[in-house]
């Protein structure tokens, strides 16, 4: 399980999915943390109070609505408990696995590129001096010698 690739893939999906709100994202991040704590085993037990505290969701209705919608959107897989005395279980699918081996070398389009083809965001560097060995775009002065005792 590659933690960073999974998070990057999740946020790429979040950027495209207009259904998700900050509550969905916060809940997913809390569930992901519990998945990590359980060494990425599926399914893992979930205690609503703990997840609500970690995700900063204050309403049971919001929690249940978000967990249901994350399940319907297939970000998570919710397994109801057979008894009210047992915890529910959640599974999270891996997002760090690339289907196309060439795509692993592409930069994720998180910061404004529409199609993700750009290797990096466009940054204006017109005021940066040329610091190559042949460049003379910067002013230099001799460094005075220090007398050592």
Q: Which residues contact 73 (CB under 8 A, 6 or more apart)?
A: 17, 19, 20
Structural domains in the chain plus CATH codes: 3-105 (1.10.10)
Q: How confident is the model at residue 1 (pLDDT cuts 50, 70, 90)?
A: confident
Q: Looking at residue 128, what is its pLDDT?
A: 58
Q: Looking at residue 127, what is its pLDDT?
A: 61
How distant is the alpha carbon of residue 67 from its chain centre?
A: 18
Indicate whether 126 pLDDT > 90. Answer: no
Alpha-carbon span 145 to 9, nearest angstrom: 54
Indicate whether 82 pLDDT > 70. Answer: yes
The closest of 63, 73, 116, 64 to 93, measured between CA atoms, is 73
* Both structure tokens of 36: 């990590």
Q: Looking at residue 96, what is its pLDDT?
A: 82
* Mean of pLDDT values over 106-116: 53
What is the largest distance, in Å, between two alpha-carbon atoms of the chain? 82
Q: What is the DSSP letter of 110?
A: -
Rg of the chain over Cα atoms, rounded to whole angstroms, equals 24
State the pTM of this model: 0.67
Q: Looking at residue 149, what is its pLDDT?
A: 59
DSSP class per residue in 32-68:
HHHHHHTTT-SSEEE-HHHHHHHHT---HHHHHHHHH
Which of 76-85, 91-100, 123-132, 137-146 is the least confident region? 123-132
Q: Looking at residue 101, what is its pLDDT?
A: 45
């Amino acid at each position: 399980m590659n933690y960073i690739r999974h998070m990057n893939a999740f946020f790429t999906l979040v950027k495209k999915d207009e259904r998700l709100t900050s509550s969905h994202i916060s809940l997913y991040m809390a569930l992901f943390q519990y998945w990590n704590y359980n060494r990425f085993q599926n399914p893992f037990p979930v205690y609503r109070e703990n997840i609500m505290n970690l995700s900063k969701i204050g309403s049971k209705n919001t929690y249940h609505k978000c967990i249901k919608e994350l399940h319907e959107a297939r970000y998570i897989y919710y397994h109801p408990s057979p008894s009210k005395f047992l915890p529910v279980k959640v599974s999270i699918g891996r997002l760090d696995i690339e289907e196309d081996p060439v795509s692993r070398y592409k930069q994720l389009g998180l910061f404004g590129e529409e199609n993700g083809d750009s290797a990096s965001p466009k940054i204006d560097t017109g005021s940066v001096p040329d610091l190559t060995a042949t460049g003379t775009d910067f002013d230099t002065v001799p460094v005075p010698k220090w007398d050592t005792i």
